[in-house]
Amino acid sequence: MRRPSLTACLASLLALVIPSCAASPDPPVCAGAGQCRVGHCMVGRCRPSPAPLAPLDAQRLVLQPADIAVLSARALPRGPGLSPAASAPSLAPSTSSPGTPATSLGASTSSPGTATPFFGASTSSPNTATLSPGGSASSSAAPSGATPPSSATLSGATTLSGATPLSDPAAPTSTAASSDLALDPASSLAAARARLPEAVALGAESAGDTVLLFRFEAPWPDDADIASAFLVLDPVAGAPPAAAEVPLEIARILEPWLSDTATWGRQPRHTIPELAAVARRRPLAPVRIDVTRLVRAWSERAHDDHGIALIAPGDDPVGLACSMGITDGLGPRLEVYLR
């Protein structure tokens, strides 16, 4: 009698251990959030596929949220190992009105509109151009030895960074110097930050399910060629790692909202969440979440498109500690790569 091969035995064993992937169609997919592969199942669902890299000719635009809210089923944890080291605030408020798309790049207004992760240190350029409400751009001084960035004009207005090739899914890297264009957020962000904790432990049992609401202004034309877009979260330096990998879900917000009125019981409706990222325990590095599809949809100006909701189920003993940019770091931000 012919004995089954070792490979067949292992395949049968894996089918019993991870039935959700084994029972998936061919090619196995998980609600449009990635393809199942052997050993890549998590909480009964498939791990998201790697996000696409930005093309070499893409130009990076960094946006701070026009409004942000942190909603938790229970009180947000503020343990001693969670708060970042104190430093000067990284953002200055703007005078633009909340919820109004910026038009200083010569772009038409568009309503904001959610992701697979990259994990790795960010390689932001030492020069950061800040666009004032009047449309004039100013650059912060670069440290000694920094290479001057190249630039290209978008819509005949201010300049964006040069080409930013991404050669490693762990982090955006560039073989040529580049700069980031950081848009000043609306004045509502300053008020929202006053209500934000210094850090949030996403997925922590002590906080329960946590929802982060983001609304961004789109300063590019409706016909802009968006190569890719990522929501970026920075970990808190020195914070203890999560007990396990933390799943992060995203959804499109369907109702208008403001951070000063949004609560767990009064949060806006959103689409059915889909698994978008899996944050690793180590190394502690920025989590890059692919939101290209949602950002591209902003040009459609849908009446029920009011931002991005990031959902973290609260079932980890520790959770993923992310900085909100109050006293340290840039805080959550959106990176958009334009061609």
Please answer whether residues 78 and 207 qualify as being in contact, where contact means their C-beta atoms are separated by less than 8 angstroms: no
User: Where are the strands (E) in 78-209, listed by range?
Assistant: 117-119, 128-131, 137-139, 151-153, 159-161, 180-183, 199-202
What 3-state class would DSSP assign to 303?
Answer: coil
The residue with greater pLDDT, 106 or 264, is 264
Q: Which of 312, 100, 280 is nearest to 201 (CA)?
A: 312
* pLDDT at residue number 254: 94
Local confidence band at 2 (pLDDT 50, 70, 90 cut-offs): low
- pTM score of the predicted model: 0.57
Report the Cα 259 to chain-centroid distance in Å.
18
pLDDT at 266 over 60: yes
pLDDT at 251 over 80: yes
pLDDT at 17 over 70: no
pLDDT at 85 over 60: no
